[in-house]
Amino acid sequence: MGRAEQVSRRLKLRHLNVLLAVAEQGSMAKAARQLAVTQPVVSKTIADLEKILGVRLLERAQHGVEPTVYGRALLKHSVTIFDDVRAGVSELDFLADPDAGELRIGSTEAMGIELVPLIVERMSRQYPRIVFEIIFGSIQRLYEIELRGRHVELVIGRQEVPTGPADDLDVTVLFRDRLRIVVGRDSPWARKRRVSLADLVNERWCLPPATHPVGALITGAFRRSGLEPPRSAVTAPSAVFTSRMIVSGQYLGVLGSAYLKINEPRTALKILPVDLPVPDWPTSIATLKNRTLSPVAKRFVDFAKEITRSLIS
Per the structure, how many domains does the chain have? Answer: 3
Q: Is residue 133 part of a domain?
A: yes
pLDDT score at 12: 82
pLDDT score at 6: 73
Q: Is residue 86 part of a domain?
A: no
Q: Is residue 84 part of a domain?
A: no
Q: Which of 77, 22, 21, 10 is nearest to 48 (CA)?
A: 10
pLDDT score at 1: 60
Q: Is residue 102 part of a domain?
A: yes
Show pLDDT as tens, one digit a residue, over the chain (313 residues): 677 677 677 878 888 888 888 888 998 889 889 989 998 898 898 888 888 888 898 888 877 888 898 888 888 888 777 777 777 777 777 666 767 788 999 999 889 888 999 999 999 999 998 999 999 998 889 999 999 888 999 999 987 555 555 678 889 999 888 899 999 998 999 999 899 999 999 999 999 998 888 899 999 999 999 999 998 899 998 888 999 999 988 899 999 888 888 877 666 899 999 988 988 888 999 999 888 888 889 999 999 999 998 776 5
Q: Is residue 185 part of a domain?
A: yes
Q: Are residues 72 and 137 in the same domain?
A: no
Q: Are residues 187 and 129 in the same domain?
A: no
Q: What is the CATH number of the domain that holds 302?
A: 3.40.190.10
Q: What is the pLDDT of residues 69-87, one digit of tens each?
A: 888 888 888 877 777 777 7
pLDDT score at 118: 92
Burial class (CB in 10 A: 0-12, 13-18, 19+), 155: buried
Going by the DSSP 8-state scheme, the letter that residue 237 receives in this structure is: -
Domain housing 152: 97-177+282-312
Q: Are residues 16 and 160 in the same domain?
A: no
Q: Is residue 89 part of a domain?
A: no
Q: Is residue 91 part of a domain?
A: no
Number of helices followed by number of strands (H, E) in the chain? 13, 12
Alpha-carbon distances of 118 from 83, 101, 106, 125, 265, rounded to whole Å: 27, 19, 15, 11, 14
Q: Which of 105, 125, 126, 127 is nearest to 116 (CA)?
A: 105
pLDDT score at 199: 94
- Neighbouring CB atoms inside 10 A of 284's CB total 22
Per the DSSP assignment, residues forming a β-bridge with 169 are 288
- Grouping H, G, I as helix, E, B as strand and the rest as coil, residue 170 is strand
Residue 92 C-alpha from the chain's centroid: 26
Q: Which of 107, 111, 115, 106 is nearest to 311 (CA)?
A: 115
Residue 271 · residue 189 · CB < 8 Å: no
Q: Is residue 11 part of a domain?
A: yes
Q: Are residues 62 and 134 in the same domain?
A: no
Alpha-carbon distances of 245 from 113, 179, 254, 301, rounded to whole Å: 17, 17, 11, 33
Q: Are residues 108 and 192 in the same domain?
A: no
